[in-house]
């Protein structure tokens, strides 16, 4: 996370905050409050200490919430005190991270709530902002859903292009089995389903089915493999997919389409 924070600060501050240097005395002290301007699930609070430490530190940083907490409109999220220039030059980076990550956490909570009471769990995907994947997946987990693989390096997921390159689904599974890792296979047809089950795949990703089709396929699988549903999953239909008997549903929109939540920073001199 440190490198992401450093890059964000360098991008925004560059050679220096010329406005604060021109307008604010170097010795001026101030206090600032981060405020929720709408109901949200907060995430990204662990970045605040890093942000301020990279700019010389502050006198006080009081975090009033924990990642995953609900905030109501007008609620104080955190309070920071120190040199006014430091607070001003860190303001936008801090707010940007909190707004973006809270957006992911808030959407994730809505999906988690939508499937409550079923045996199905919502997962995120790799459809994340470049460079922010670890943070966005942390925010998704704070919102109450599960993390799918972090990247190409930590789990095998055989998709349609792998199947094409390997010369068929059976070839892909048999070669992947040599790795010793659990194997997940993306399935698009009944024939692929049959071959994958015969080849011993333990986790099947059923893509772009309707809830009715998914329920039928889940019955056919009959517990021989874990089932994940993907493609076309929305907040409006995720409950219907969860009630098919699948173990997981995954949704890229939780990270790639979450809007930034409205969080403000209010400063006063002391």
Q: Which are the catalytic amino acids?
A: 92, 127, 159, 186, 207
Contact 127, 250 (CB under 8 A): no
β-strand pairing of 248-250 with 121-123? parallel
CA atoms within 13 A on the CB side of 139: 33
Measured CA distances, 63 to 36, 43, 44, 114 (Å): 13, 12, 11, 29
Contact 105, 97 (CB under 8 A): no
Longest dimension (CA), the chain: 73
Sheet holding 263-269, edge to edge: 60-63, 76-83, 29-36, 263-269
Q: Is residue 154 classed exposed, middle or buried when 0-12, 13-18 and 19+ CB atoms within 10 A define those classes?
A: exposed
Rounded distance, CA 174 to CA 201, Å? 10
Position of tokens 């801090």?
94
Measured CA distances, 182 to 16, 65, 149 (Å): 50, 37, 12
Q: Is residue 256 classed exposed, middle or buried when 0-12, 13-18 and 19+ CB atoms within 10 A define those classes?
A: middle
Residue partners of 222: CB distance under 8 A and separation at least 6: none
* The two structure tokens encoding residue 266: 């209010």
């Amino acid at each position: 996370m440190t490198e992401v924070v450093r890059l964000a600060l360098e991008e925004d501050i560059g050679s220096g905050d010329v406005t604060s240097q021109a307008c604010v005395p170097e010795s001026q002290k101030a206090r600032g409050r981060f405020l929720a301007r709408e109901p949200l699930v907060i995430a990204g609070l662990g970045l605040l200490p890093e942000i301020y430490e990279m700019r010389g530190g502050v006198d006080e940083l009081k975090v009033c919430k924990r990642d995953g907490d609900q905030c109501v409109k007008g609620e104080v999220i955190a309070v920071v005190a120190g040199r006014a220039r430091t607070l001003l030059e860190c303001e936008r980076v801090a707010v940007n991270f909190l707004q973006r990550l809270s957006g992911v956490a808030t959407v994730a909570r809505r999906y988690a709530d939508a499937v409550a009471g079923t045996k199905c769990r919502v997962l995120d995907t790799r459809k994340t902002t470049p460079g922010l994947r670890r943070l966005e997946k942390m925010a998704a987990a704070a919102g109450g859903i599960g993390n799918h693989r972090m990247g190409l390096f930590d789990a095998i997921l055989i998709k349609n292009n792998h199947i094409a390159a390997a010369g068929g689904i059976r070839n892909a599974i048999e070669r992947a089995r040599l790795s010793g890792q659990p194997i997940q296979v993306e399935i698009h047809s009944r024939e692929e389903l049959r071959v994958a089950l015969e080849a011993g795949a333990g986790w099947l990703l059923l893509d772009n089915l309707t809830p009715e089709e998914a329920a039928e396929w889940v019955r056919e699988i009959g517990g021989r493999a874990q089932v994940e549903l993907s493609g076309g999953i929305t907040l409006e239909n995720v409950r219907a997919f969860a009630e098919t008997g699948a173990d997981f549903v995954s949704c890229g929109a939780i990270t790639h389409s979450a809007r930034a939540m409205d969080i403000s920073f209010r400063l006063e001199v002391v």
